[in-house]
Structure 1
Amino acid sequence: MRLNFGILKRPKSQIPGFGLTMGYTVFYLSIIVLIPLIALFSEAFSMGFQAFIDTTTHPRVIESYKLTFFTSLIAAIVNTVFGLIVAWCLVRYTFFGKRIFDAIVDLPFALPTAVSGIALTTLYSSQGWFGQYLEPLGIKVVFSPIGITIALIFIGMPFVVRTIQPALEEIQIEQEEASASLGASRWQTFYKVILPTILPAVLTGFALSFARALGEYGSVVFISGNLPMKTEISTLLIVTKLEQYDYAGATAIAVVMLLISFVMLLVINILQRWSSRRKGMEAI
């Protein structure tokens, strides 16, 4: 009996040029993402660890962190709720002007953020279309956290709508009809049939909207007023330090923002994966 000790060959990849495309992917991501991040961390810690701690824990910086993350979180939550409603309307109903409304959703993508900030400031100023009615009620929008939140809602809405919309289109009407035939109410059908199906897309839309809001600058800088300790966001503080040629201080604040954002997005991705696995197990 002869034994064949030949080397086992790895099955040939079904993707043509895997080695070339994988090499290009690693090279591209390194040039675009990894190397800039390494340079960012290197510049931030060039000032020394103690100076890094002193810079990133300064009261003015701490207040900018709180304002940035709080307004971004509120904007992402609002966008998730109302973005789901808008996506539902565009997918499930046919009405006059539907294509126009569908195109309007993408308008914040194309509109320069500076133009958005100027337009919102004009609308909500004391003499603006909305501001002239809100300020007598004691609601000040311009130069306040409310104005910042409105600006972040404006630029983040398309991310939620365009993420949830394809997930809603994939849901078969038969599933809802089966739920209704079993005696479920409309709310029970939505909560137990539709929502679990689109939950990964909802979480993704929330994460994208939240991440976009954290890095926003152009639309916020006009409506916030940039008052230190009150309406000064972290991105504005970074730009201020750059204008003062404090590159190490600017990168230090950016590194802290990056780390906190990464942790929060990691948690959201874990929840998204857990939701996807749960959906798969229920399907089995």
Structure 2
Amino acid sequence: MKKLKLKKHSILPGFGLSLGFTTFYISLLILLPLSMIFINTASMSWQDFWTTVTEPRVMASYRLSFGASFAAASINVVFGVLIAWVLVRYSFPGKRLIDGLVDLPFALPTAVAGIALTTLYAETGWVGQFLPFRVAFTPLGITIALTFIGLPFVVRMVQPVLQSFEKETEEVSAILGATRLQTFRKVILPEIFPAALTGFALAFARALGEYGSVVFIAGNMPMRTEITPLLILTKLEQYDYAGATAIAAVMLVISFVLLLLINGLQWWTNKRIAH
């Protein structure tokens, strides 16, 4: 019995060392920098903290950042799933080129993306001059920029799931009399939903912290098109480090809670599908 126990524990040699190194690495790169936000914020009194994070200008930036990020991530879920479906299920000329273009927002510097989008959607731009409404320097322009940088997350999360999905399952569903809509809703959607939800969470998280691609097209008008990351940078330039970390701490806590809820929903969905 003792020999069996020893063998069981030796299946993964070096577990203690690797776990210690992993914990140290995560603490050094993630936990330590994040803890400094709360340490700097702790230097403020509760009244000063509350006054700083609830200023009308700050509250407006919260609404814009979270609202635009949620809208962009929701748009990406719909069109990201559609693009992944086309890339997996159909063969057509230029397919590899389109597949490669999906990753372009990853490689393109965010400042370049912001300048390109601003030039494109400005009132005198190639697209903006033909639109009956303004896009650049409005919340709509911010949403477009966040949609641009978040699309690859959804496509790359859903694509492998569709590639591994067996087409025979769809054929069986059709043989049993299900329509295409019923097949998609009851057979395909439950399979890709967890991956799409993960892509939504990643796109939402990326959009919340995005700065470079948004700052140009936003116009940065207080109370209207000023995002929270820009407001934090403004306070840092004014040497108001406590105020900047206070706003960052609020963003961090809210983002963590939202991502925790999304991950909980994903876990519940996976558990339900497994049963």
Same fold by TM-score, threshold 0.5 exceeded? yes
Report what 2:84 is aligned to: 87
Give the C-alpha shift of residue 48 in structure 1. Answer: 1.6
CA distance in structure 2 between the partners assigned to 1:125 and 1:63 by the alignment: 23
Report what 1:53 is aligned to: 50
2:260 aligns with one of 262, 266, 280: 266
Deviations 1:216-271 (A, max 9, x none): 00000000000000000000000000000011100000000011111111111011
Q: Does 1:184 align with 2:178?
A: yes
CA distance in structure 2 between the partners assigned to 1:86 and 1:8 by the alignment: 51
Q: Secondary structure at the match of 2:70?
A: helix
Give the C-alpha shift of residue 9 in structure 1. Answer: 4.6
Alignment of 1:207-218 (within 5 A): 207-218=201-212
Report what 1:149 is aligned to: 143
Q: Secondary structure at the match of 1:143?
A: coil
Which TM-score applies when normalising by structure 2? 0.97
* Pairs aligned (count): 274
Report what 2:200 is aligned to: 206
Deviations 1:95-139 (A, max 9, x none): 1111000000000000000000000000011111001011xx2x1
Q: Does 1:237 align with 2:235?
A: no
Q: Secondary structure at the match of 1:47?
A: coil
Percent identity of paired positions between Structure 1 and Structure 2: 63
Deviations 1:73-95 (A, max 9, x none): 00000000000000000011111
Give the C-alpha shift of residue 8 in structure 1. Answer: 9.6
Give the C-alpha shift of residue 191 in structure 1. Answer: 0.3
1:98 aligns with one of 87, 95, 100: 95
Alignment of 1:1-284 (within 5 A): 9=5, 11-134=8-131, 137=132, 139-281=133-275
Q: Match for 2:75: what amino acid? A: V
CA distance in structure 1 between the partners assigned to 2:161 and 2:12 by the alignment: 27
Q: Which runs of 4+ in 1 moved over 4 A?
A: 6-10
Closer, same or farther in 2 for the Cα pair 1:27/1:128, shift >3 Å?
Answer: same
CA distance in structure 1 between the partners assigned to 2:272 and 2:90 by the alignment: 29
Q: Match for 1:241: what amino acid? A: K
Give the C-alpha shift of residue 7 in structure 1. Answer: 11
| Larger of the two Rg values belongs to structure | 1
Give the C-alpha shift of residue 51 in structure 1. Answer: 0.7
Deviations 1:57-81 (A, max 9, x none): 0110000000000000000000000
CA distance in structure 2 between the partners assigned to 1:13 and 1:25 by the alignment: 19
Q: CA RMSD in A?
A: 1.4
CA distance in structure 2 between the partners assigned to 1:87 and 1:15 by the alignment: 37
Q: Match for 2:16: what amino acid? A: G
Give the C-alpha shift of residue 13 in structure 1. Answer: 3.8
Q: Match for 1:267: what amino acid? A: L
Give the C-alpha shift of residue 47 in structure 1. Answer: 1.4
| Structure 1 stretches lacking a partner, 5+ long | none
CA distance in structure 2 between the partners assigned to 1:8 and 1:173 by the alignment: 44
Give the C-alpha shift of residue 35 in structure 1. Answer: 1.2
CA distance in structure 2 between the partners assigned to 1:94 and 1:260 by the alignment: 43
Give the C-alpha shift of residue 38 in structure 1. Answer: 1.4
Give the C-alpha shift of residue 50 in structure 1. Answer: 1.2
CA distance in structure 1 between the partners assigned to 2:127 and 2:139 by the alignment: 17
